């Protein structure tokens, strides 16, 4: 069976014209259901894309399997800026990285790239919670992983 | 046929415990497809709700029918802050208003309310464009409508 | 707070031009995100509508709260026939009823109505399962409810 | 840039354990937003998947670019049968083929495969229309393409 949906690392992203420090991406193609009646990718579809790569990043990095009764990972806020339209069947690359972290949360950056040009950018704040919804300090292993793979800054 | 999906004005919103200056809302109920595997309304569903009420607001106010070849209405950015979880079958009220306007754009606020409490807030920047994607100054009629109905500030 | 999303019973449906034996419906309006690049309601949106009313029907009839560890309600198959296009901001009424039941399953009919005309029809087979995924006979209370409210035939 | 979203032909499908006569597929992975509160891929998500591969098939075969003012391609009906649950991050292959054709329509089969096992099957009837919504006979080039690539039967 052919490999597919393999995350792209720093080298593959540079080869696709995506600059440092992005180090985690996924390539995909615009689907019919993501285009709205105005003929371009719908604004909400990008929020879905950012969720998809956020979950893939957190699982691939071993930060969460979304099935741990001791830790909840929730999104506190999200922001998107629409720079250029994207259309049906366009090939694109999604990238994400944890830009900075605090005691109980971290901030992830997101971007969509078509032909090496950023077409949408975004960011989101992720919080770790205990089962009773109290804030949970990021475990040391999570901090180490984010620093090693994303160069995440402590702020 | 019974009235339904009737937008709620200022009086109806006050009666539902939603404070001034909100003056446009729509009541709805959480659907099965809006809840994710974590058991609460999915973060992307809120972006969809904000799009739904944004379009309803712009059409009801006569600002756009999304079918005018001379004017494109596009969203430049959107931001959402998640305050409280919402669950299957919860009744909620969506509100929106144009908070401020500049020469060629305006900023809309959004909120979700359950039992008179805000559970999600948001904002978005809307831009008017000519068919060639050059920026289009807001027509005087649009400015007058926003001021009269939403108390929009010129900034 | 104003009443909203109140299910429509037989009398309200007849008043809206929807014939017997339909006895359960919900009125709604087409949203921007349900229209695709071809300018009409997307074929997948109807499947979402049928899920929404199916869940509302099962909860309102007391058949499932989708939170019972002893009983799983799953959909075994679904079929949709597209009769007429529906467009942005069209008001429509969704209807559903359990047409027939067997030992461990029942078949639901679905329809979308605009101005008293059926625009999409559908059906789905619902199965009750025990936690180990073995088939579970429909409880007598469920049979009695379906017969009383939907006139469901035993087959 | 690595190849991605490359359609799989007959040889690749056989290597993945998918039998003849399937000759067109796409590999993908379940996303977070496709899983519902019951913990498995939502029934509506499959209808979206079938739309995605249907459009890809029609575009790749040169049957439609969804941008031809002289020809509309519409879906008349769709049916899905759910055989096995699929879960978050499962790798799957979607397949489709035009099984049979008549004068103005053709019937497509769909399937989802996980580890060589079919988990969902489906079919849909596609109709070609003129701009005035009258039925349009399938062009000879379309018939030839379907026979050559999918072994479509005339019925």
User: A36 CA to chain B: closest CA distance, Å?
Assistant: 12
Q: What is the pLDDT of residues A104-139, one digit of tens each?
A: 999 999 999 999 999 999 999 999 999 898 999 999
Contact residues on chain D for C79, CB-CB shorter than 8 A:
77-80
What pLDDT, on the 0 to 100 scale, is given for residue A150? Answer: 97
ipTM above 0.90, yes or no: yes
- C-alpha torsion C79→C82→C85→C87, nearest 10: 0
Chain B contact set for C32 (CB, 8 A): 51-52, 55, 66
Residue A47 has its nearest CB partner, among B47, B74, B77, at B47
Whole-angstrom distance, CA of residue C39 vs CA of residue A153: 46
CA distance D86 to D120: 9
Considering the entire predicted model, what is its pTM? 0.95
User: Could you read off the pLDDT of B83-136 as tens digits, one per residue?
Assistant: 999 999 899 999 999 999 999 999 999 999 999 999 999 999 999 999 898 999
Q: Which residue of D has its CA nearest to B39?
A: D37
Nearest to A39 among C37, C42, C88 (CB): C37
Task: Select the residue of A38, A51, A74 nearest B44 (Cβ to Cβ).
Answer: A51
Q: Detail the DSSP E strand segments found in A102-154.
A: 105-114, 117-129, 153-154
With a pLDDT cut of 70, the percent of chain D lying above it is: 97
Which pLDDT tens digit goes with each residue over C82-132?
999 999 989 999 999 999 999 999 999 999 999 999 999 999 999 999 989
| Nearest-Cα residue of chain B relative to residue C59 | B89
Preceding peptide of A130 cis, ω within 30°: no
> Tell me, what's the pLDDT at C109?
98
Sign of CA dihedral B139, B144, B150, C1: negative
List residues in chain D touching C: CB distance below 8 A: 37-38, 42-44, 47-48, 51, 66, 72, 74-82
Contacts of D34 (CB under 8 A, 6+ apart): D41, D42, D45, D48
Q: What is the pLDDT of residues B15-62, one digit of tens each?
A: 999 999 999 999 999 999 999 999 999 999 999 999 999 999 999 999
The band of B68, judged by pLDDT with boundaries at 50, 70 and 90, is: confident
For residue C125, the chain D residue with the least C-alpha distance is D81
Q: Using CB atoms, which chains have 3+ pairs under 8 A with D?
A: A, B, C
Chain C residues touching chain D at CB-CB below 8 Å: 37-38, 42-44, 47-48, 51, 66, 72, 74-82
Query: Are D29 and A4 an interchain contact pair (Cβ–Cβ within 8 Å)?
Result: yes
**Are residues A47 and B43, on separate chains, in Cβ contact within 8 Å?**
yes
Q: Does residue D3 carry a pLDDT above 70?
A: no
Angle, nearest 10°, between helix axes A43-60 and B43-60? Answer: 170
Helix axes C43-60 and D43-60, enclosed angle (nearest 10): 170
Residue of B nearest to D87 (CA): B37
Q: How many CB pairs under 8 A join A and B?
A: 47
Question: Which residue from B minimizes the CA distance to C115?
Answer: B1
A120 CB-near residues (< 8 Å, 6+ apart): A46, A80, A81, A82, A83, A84, A86, A110, A111, A112
The structure tokens 């009629």 sit at B141
Residues of chain A neighbouring C45 (CB-CB closer than 8 A): none
The answer on pLDDT for D96 being more than 80 is yes
Asked if residue C1 has pLDDT above 70, the reply is: no
Out of C5, C16, C48, the one facing B1 most closely (by C-beta) is: C16
The CA-atom distances, in angstroms, between B39 and each of B29, B42, C75, D31 are 15, 8, 19, 16
């Amino acid at each position: 069976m052919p490999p597919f949906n393999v995350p792209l690392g720093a080298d593959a992203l540079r080869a696709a014209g995506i600059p440092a420090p992005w180090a985690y991406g996924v390539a995909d193609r615009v689907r019919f259901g993501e285009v709205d009646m105005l003929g371009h990718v719908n604004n909400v579809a990008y929020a879905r894309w950012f969720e998809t790569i956020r979950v893939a990043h957190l699982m691939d990095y071993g930060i969460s399997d979304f099935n741990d009764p001791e830790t909840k990972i929730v999104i506190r806020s999200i922001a998107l800026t629409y720079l250029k339209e994207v259309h049906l069947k366009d090939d694109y690359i999604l990238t994400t990285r944890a830009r900075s972290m605090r005691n109980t949360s971290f901030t992830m950056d997101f971007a969509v790239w078509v032909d090496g040009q950023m077409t949408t950018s975004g960011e989101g704040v992720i919080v770790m919670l205990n089962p009773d919804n109290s804030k949970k300090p990021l475990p040391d292993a999570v901090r180490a992983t984010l620093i090693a793979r994303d160069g995440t800054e402590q702020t």
